[in-house]
């Protein structure tokens, strides 16, 4: 009975209208963001999760070395000519009357700057001198003024011997012919020679020749190859007269002094490249 009255009360109550069903609103999208919709019946592929970006390790940078860069920029290679050969000396006056010939060695070391070397390094020449330098066929430069020009090595074969050294620190030359090269030059000399003799006319004991002087040299140079040459010539050496057997400051008469030495020589030349930093 109780259940019957409850059902009667529910059926007599007014029914409220049901709210219209609405679809769930999608989440708000970013402005202008593309919307990717999967095709019907397919499952969208999983999107990769962003990971950390790969950064390559930093490479060590080479440290600048200014001294090496300067050497590489200032290096130049030139041929160096080393020459040596026998020399025969004729001392005018009483010495030659007793001993006709005195022996020795002639030496020379110089850099050969030819036209090819000048053209290869023309940027090193000041702008105002480039036109003159490019016309030069060859320039020869002595390596050092302390390298002797002549060594006198002449033991007594009869009654007179001679030992000494001569320097040629300054000279200028003129090339008269190219091949074979014929050159005429004049230079300044400084000579010391020890002369010993048993001849009374030569001082009967010793003479220490120490004199400045001038010379004139005629040289003929014949190339055998690019690295080997032969030269020969004659040099006349003129000195302030020094009395035979006298002191350094003693001036003697012409027939009793040393004032001229003639020199004939033959030299062998060896050339090789040398790289130097300017």
Q: Which domains does the chain have, with CATH numbers?
A: 75-277 (2.40.160.20)
Distance, CA of 209 to CA of 257 (rounded, Å): 10
pTM for this entry = 0.69
Is 86 buried (19+), middle (13-18) or exposed (0-12) by CB count in 10 A? Answer: middle
The string of DSSP letters for 74-94 reads SEEEEEEEEEEEEEEEEETTH
Give me the residues paired with residue 277 across strands.
Answer: 75
Torsion sign over Cα 253, 258, 259, 262: positive
How far is residue 240 from each of residues 2, 43, 74, 150, measured CA to CA in Å?
Answer: 166, 117, 44, 18
- Give the residue from 135, 110, 142, 124 showing the smallest Cα distance to 75: 124
* 204, two tokens: 């009967």
Q: DSSP letter for 25, please.
A: P
Task: Provide the 10 A C-beta neighbour count for residue 153.
Answer: 16
pLDDT at residue 44, as a whole number: 64
In whole angstroms, how far apart are CA 126 and each of 69, 72, 77, 130, 143?
Answer: 21, 20, 19, 6, 22
CB within 8 Å of 183: residues ≥ 6 apart: 173, 174, 175, 176, 217, 218, 219, 220, 221
| Strand, helix or coil for residue 95 | helix
Neighbours of 230 (CB within 10 A): 16
Per-residue pLDDT of the chain (278 residues; tens, 9 = 90+): 444 444 444 444 454 454 454 444 555 544 555 555 666 666 666 666 666 676 777 666 655 544 333 344 567 888 899 999 999 999 998 888 788 899 999 999 999 888 888 888 888 888 888 888 888 888 888 888 899 999 999 998 888 899 999 999 999 999 999 889 999 999 999 999 999 887 766 655 688 999 999 999 999 999 999 899 999 999 999 999 998 887 777 777 777 889 999 999 999 999 999 887 76
Strand partners, 113: 139
Whole-angstrom Cα distance, residue 115 to residue 125? 13
């Amino acid at each position: 009975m109780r259940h019957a009255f409850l059902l009667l009360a529910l059926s007599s109550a007014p029914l409220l209208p049901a709210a219209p069903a609405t679809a769930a609103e999608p989440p708000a999208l970013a402005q202008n963001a593309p919307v990717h919709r999967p095709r019907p019946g397919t499952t969208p592929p999983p999107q990769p999760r962003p990971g950390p970006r790969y950064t390559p390790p930093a490479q060590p940078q080479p440290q600048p070395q200014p001294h090496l860069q300067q050497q590489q920029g200032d290096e130049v290679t030139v041929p160096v000519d080393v020459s040596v050969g026998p020399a025969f000396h004729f001392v005018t006056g009483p010495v030659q009357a007793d001993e006709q010939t005195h022996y020795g060695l002639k030496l020379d070391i110089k850099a050969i700057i030819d036209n090819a070397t000048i053209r290869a390094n023309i940027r090193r020449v000041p702008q105002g001198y480039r036109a003159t330098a490019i016309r030069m066929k060859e320039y020869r430069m002595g390596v050092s003024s302390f390298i002797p020009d002549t060594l006198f090595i002449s033991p007594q074969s009869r009654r007179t011997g001679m030992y000494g050294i001569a320097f040629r620190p300054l000279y200028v030359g003129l090339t008269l012919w190219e091949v074979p090269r014929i050159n005429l030059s004049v230079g300044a000399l400084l000579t010391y020679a020890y002369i010993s003799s048993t001849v009374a006319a030569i001082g009967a004991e010793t003479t220490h020749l120490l004199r400045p002087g001038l010379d004139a040299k005629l040289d003929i140079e014949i190339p055998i190859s690019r690295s080997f040459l032969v030269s020969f010539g004659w040099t006349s050496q003129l000195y302030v007269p020094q009395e035979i057997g006298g002191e350094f400051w003693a001036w003697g008469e012409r027939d009793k002094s040393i004032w001229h030495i003639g020199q004939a020589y033959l030299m062998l030349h060896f050339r090789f490249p040398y790289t130097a930093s300017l």
